[in-house]
Amino acid sequence: MTFHCDNCNKDWAYPIKKCIFCGSNTTEHVEKKFVIMGCTQINFPSKGNEKVPYYCYLLEDTHGKKRVWKSLDKYEIGITLEIENIQLIQVIPDPGQPAQGSP
Cβ atoms of 80 and 95 within 8 Å: the answer is no
Whether residue 91 contacts residue 101, with contact meaning beta carbons closer than 8 Å, is answered with yes
Kindly give, in sequence order, each residue whose CB lies less than 8 Å from that of residue 98, ignoring residues fewer than 6 positions away: none
Give min distance, CB of 33 to other proteins, in A: 16
* C-beta closer to other proteins: residue 39 or 99: 39
Q: Which are the contacts of 62, defined by CB distance < 8 A and separation ≥ 6?
A: 31, 33
> Would you say 44 or 95 has its CB closer to other proteins?
44
Q: Which stretch binds other proteins (CB under 8 A): 11-19, 27-35, 87-95?
A: 11-19
By CB under 8 A, tell whether 42 contacts other proteins: yes
Which residues in this chain contact other proteins in the complex, by CB under 8 A? Answer: 11, 13-14, 37-44, 46-49, 56-58, 65-70, 86
